[in-house]
Copies of this chain bind each other. A is one copy, B any other.
């Protein structure tokens, strides 16, 4: 009694595609064109299968596809809610895509090297363009960092906060998103080890040198201080790897 599905399904180029992909593409179009606004709910699966004339499986596969991309949030018993992913979420998705690339020391080094490169440039930028209130913010972050010496948890937080200020100064929302990604990607490689107040002391001294150079409007020294600080940090990250390369 089962009549099966319709005849073959092809796109404009004649390439066979999944019906679920076609539904997903149309839903994406609808969301990005504003047909369904952020926070609103998607139609129910049973409505969508009627609207598109496909089976519920096809609709479900499309919805799961959108959910994986972060365009919608699904909860059991709820209609999916539309979300418009920002840079942070997008970078988050990259993480589990390239997780295998940062599984070994070489991959982590590649990632860490980009951080050194970017933050060196950010330090230079700050030295050249930081406004007075930027400097005040940076000084406050530095003081908080000094207060936290000896308290590993608080020190890590204020450490990240200090660097975060540098990412904020250019005023481009992409940089703070990158900083969040770096912290989350690399945290597993340095949270794992014990350390004493002397290490905190050293890291704070690095921050101090960076701040001083920025405050003195000395881009070359700011960049150099940042490089020294992060290369030292890398020595700790690499020590978390069992084998030496």
Contacts and interface: CB of A to CB of B under 8 A. Distances in A.
Nearest to A175: B114
Contacts of A71: 97
Contacts of A100: 32, 84
Contact of A60 (B61, B76, B175): B61
B96 A93 contact: no
A18 to B, nearest CB: 8
Count of this chain's copies in the oligomeric assembly: 2
Contact of A97 (B69, B98, B172, B173): B69
Interface residues of A, number: 45
A119 to B, nearest CB: 10
A105 interface: no
Nearest to A63: B61
Given A87-B98, A90-B97, A97-B90, A76 B170 contact: no
B97 A93 contact: yes
Nearest to A66: B68
